[in-house]
Amino acid sequence: MLKSMVGVPLLIVREGHTIMAYTHQNSKGVTYHLNSKLVTLRGGKEQRIYYFSKDNRPEATDLPAGFVVNENPRNGFLTVKRG
The strand pair at 46-53 and 17-25 is best described as unpaired
- Calculate mean pLDDT across residues 26-54: 96
**pLDDT at residue 80, rounded to an integer:** 96
**pLDDT at residue 40, rounded to an integer:** 97
Residue 13 binned pLDDT confidence (cut-offs 50, 70, 90): low
pLDDT at 1 over 60: no
pLDDT digits (tens, 9 = 90+) for 63-82: 999 999 999 999 999 999 99
Structural domains counted in the chain = 1
Is there a domain that residue 56 lies in? yes
Q: Which of 59, 42, 58, 52 lies closest to 7, judged by CA? A: 52
Domain of residue 69, residue span: 9-82
Is there a domain that residue 3 lies in? no
Is there a domain that residue 2 lies in? no
**Beta-bridge partners for 70:** 79
- How many residues does this entry show for the chain? 83
Is there a domain that residue 4 lies in? no
61: phi then psi, degrees, rounded to nearest 5: -145, 165
Interatomic CA distance for residues 66 and 46, integer angstroms: 20
